[in-house]
């Protein structure tokens, strides 16, 4: 049998649904077997959102990279995933790496990086393909056969954007001279794609490689999303091994300058978030990220059960004063099946506690009153995940020390809260997504509780809170 037999793999996939292992999520995209990573080819086409993602169907290692494909009209009902693109020729024999998608002349096309190594030397090619009726991508023209001069073999993850009727790409890259990360722009002309050089930023030496760029437009602003590797951790940011973030400014396609850009800001403050990609459709910006992290596979115990990682929920982005706010896509409200209201006028010294459903969304406003420190905990029997806010320091701490498996440690970031702390929590079987202060900050993380029990939501503080109001919903599974 061929290594990547679409018929056999799709049949095995179909058998794997509904997902069976107790750590599998109910409303996060994931696979019954193999390792998934970056969302790819996000495209609205023919009345549906198409989501592709990196997938190794043959094991839980970062190799054999294929693209899997699902579609959805509403982010609640999904088609069963299928194998769409796999390494089977000389150009992409070492993996069909990340890329983007587009709807063109009634067809769904993708553009991806063909990963190829010869004697340890990388020869990355950027190639188009078209989704066929049988669910596979037909491989077509190679538009950039190798990395350009001055750039190493780390040259990948093309993302297409349009300005004034012209098509451009941003591609993640590494400079040869000093092995630092950058992003190149290519412009389509009648005779092909031309290298317009680097996007000039004020970031300078900012890590050794930038992966997965997206160039987005929010009104008159351009936002360059990218994933720099090799930045040192700081007290309140860059705490993961690799980052996913953005700068907002104005990109001049004449000078290639990103003018008046903001500082680099992270898109997510959790432990497990990387390589996001954004749909731009009907004025909305919908982001999906990979809930995982490169080079940390040993931290994720679902590996022992033959599958790894999820994608985040879709998040709608807004840019306000140079900062991206992210809210869960409104379609997700259709997952709500049972509602309970929370209204506590003044908390007792013992605080507040409520059992959660198997999948839940909690939307809470905490009026802090005299409290200086407040802690929101997801308690799984003897294990716990804590969100601790220190009002004097204005620091939010996410603490996973209380979980035995799945990576311990803390993440800390600055968050300004005056009187009221707002928290929206999506708690799936292992995936937790927290939205703070109406999407000013977001955190994605995975927890792997030892026991198959539903968590309790507990809120305690160093002084009674003035009030807690909100709602908790049971959420349905994806259908």
Residues that bind ligand FRU (CB under 6 A): 37-38, 54, 65, 97-98, 113, 156-157, 211-212, 274-275, 294
- Give me the least distance between CB of 297 and ligand FRU, in Å please: 12
Of the candidates 31, 30, 97, 42, the one whose C-alpha atom is nearest the C-alpha of residue 64 is 97
Choose between 37 and 126: whose C-beta lies nearer to ligand FRU.
37
Identity of the residue, 37 or 430, whose beta carbon is nearer to ligand FRU in the bound complex: 37
List b or e across 395-427, with b for residues whose CB sees 16 or more CB atoms inside 10 angstroms: ebebbbebbebbbeeebbbebebeeebbbbbbb
Work out whether the CA dihedral 411, 414, 418, 423 comes out positive or negative. Answer: negative
Cβ-based neighbours of 476, under 8 Å, separated by 6 or more: 26, 27, 76, 335, 336, 337, 359
- Say what the alpha-carbon torsion angle 316, 320, 322, 327 is, to the nearest 10 degrees: -20
**Smallest separation, CB 134 to ligand FRU (Å):** 24
- In the three-class reduction of DSSP (H, G, I as helix; E, B as strand; rest coil), residue 381 is classed as coil
The smaller minimum CB distance to ligand FRU, of residues 148 and 294, is found at 294
Rounded distance, CA 59 to CA 372, Å?
A: 48
Interatomic CA distance for residues 275 and 262, integer angstroms = 20
Separation between Cα atoms, residue 328 and residue 331, nearest integer Å:
8
How far, in Å, CA of 10 to CA of 153, rounded? 33
Q: CB-hemisphere CA count at 13 Å for 81? A: 29
Minimum Å gap between C-beta 319 and ligand FRU is 24
CB-CB contact of 268 with 442 (8 Å)? yes
Q: Which of the residues 5, 10, 38, 157 is marked catalytic?
A: 38
CB of 444 to ligand FRU, least distance (A): 15
In whole angstroms, how far apart are CA 150 and each of 12, 43, 169, 198, 203?
44, 32, 18, 11, 19
Residue 294 or 464 with smaller CB distance to ligand FRU? 294
Which two structure tokens, joined as six digits, stand for 141? 């023209």
**Smaller CB distance to ligand FRU: residue 181 or 351?**
181
For residue 7, the SS3 value is helix
Nearer to ligand FRU, 93 or 373 (CB): 93
Query: What is d(CA 16, CA 455) in angstroms, rounded to the nearest whole number?
Result: 26
Strand partners, 215: 224
Encoding tokens for residue 148? 């350009």
Q: Which is nearer to ligand FRU, 25 or 126 (CB)?
A: 126
Shortest spacing between CB 211 and ligand FRU, in angstroms: 4
Task: Give least dist CB 40 to ligand FRU, A.
Answer: 8
Q: How far is the CB of 4 from ligand FRU (least distance, A)?
A: 15
Verify whether residue 88 is a known catalytic residue: no
Residue numbers annotated as active site: 38
């Amino acid at each position: 049998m061929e290594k990547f037999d679409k018929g056999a793999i799709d049949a095995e996939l179909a058998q794997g649904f509904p997902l069976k292992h107790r750590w599998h999520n109910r409303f996060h995209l994931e696979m019954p077997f193999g390792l998934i990573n970056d969302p790819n080819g996000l495209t609205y086409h023919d009345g549906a959102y198409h989501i592709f993602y990196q997938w190794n169907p043959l094991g839980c290692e970062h190799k054999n990279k294929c693209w899997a494909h699902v579609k959805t009209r509403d982010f609640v009902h999904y088609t069963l995933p299928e194998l769409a693109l796999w390494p089977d020729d000389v150009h992409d024999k070492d993996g069909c790496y990340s890329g983007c998608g587009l709807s063109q002349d009634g067809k769904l096309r993708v553009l991806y990086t063909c990963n190829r190594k010869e004697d340890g030397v990388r020869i990355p090619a950027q190639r188009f393909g078209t989704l066929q009726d049988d669910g596979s991508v037909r491989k077509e023209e190679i538009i950039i056969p190798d990395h350009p001069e001055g750039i190493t073999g780390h040259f990948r993850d093309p993302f297409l954007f349009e300005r004034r009727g012209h098509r451009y790409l941003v591609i993640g890259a590494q400079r040869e001279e000093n092995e630092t990360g950058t992003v190149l722009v290519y412009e389509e002309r009648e005779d092909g794609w031309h290298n317009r050089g680097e996007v000039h930023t004020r970031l300078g030496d900012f890590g050794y490689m930038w992966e997965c760029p997206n160039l987005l437009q929010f009104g008159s602003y351009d936002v360059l999303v990218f994933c720099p590797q090799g930045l040192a951790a700081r007290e309140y940011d860059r705490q993961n091994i690799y980052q996913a973030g953005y700068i907002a400014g104005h990109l001049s396609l004449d000078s290639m300058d990103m003018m008046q850009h903001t500082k680099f800001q992270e898109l997510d403050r959790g432990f497990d978030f990387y390589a996001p990609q954004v749909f731009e459709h009907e004025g909305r910006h919908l982001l999906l990220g990979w809930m995982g992290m490169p080079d940390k596979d040993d931290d994720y115990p679902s590996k022992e059960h033959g599958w790894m990682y999820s994608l985040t929920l879709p998040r709608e982005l807004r840019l306000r004063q140079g900062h991206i706010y992210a809210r869960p896509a409104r379609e997700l409200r259709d997952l709500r099946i049972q509602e309970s209201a929370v209204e506590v006028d003044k908390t007792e010294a013992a605080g507040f506690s409520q059992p959660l459903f198997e999948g839940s969304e909690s939307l809470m406003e905490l009026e802090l009153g005299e409290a200086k420190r407040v802690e929101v905990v997801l308690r799984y029997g003897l294990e716990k995940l804590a969100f601790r806010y220190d009002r004097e320091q204005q620091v939010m701490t996410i603490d996973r020390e209380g979980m035995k498996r799945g990576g311990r440690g803390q993440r800390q970031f600055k968050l300004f809260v005056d009187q009221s702390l707002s928290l929206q929590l999506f708690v799936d079987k292992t995936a937790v997504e927290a939205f703070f202060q109406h999407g000013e900050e977001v955190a994605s993380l995975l927890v792997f509780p030892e026991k198959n029990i539903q968590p309790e939501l507990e809120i305690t503080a160093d002084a009674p809170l003035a009030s807690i109001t909100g709602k908790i919903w049971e959420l349905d599974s994806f259908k």
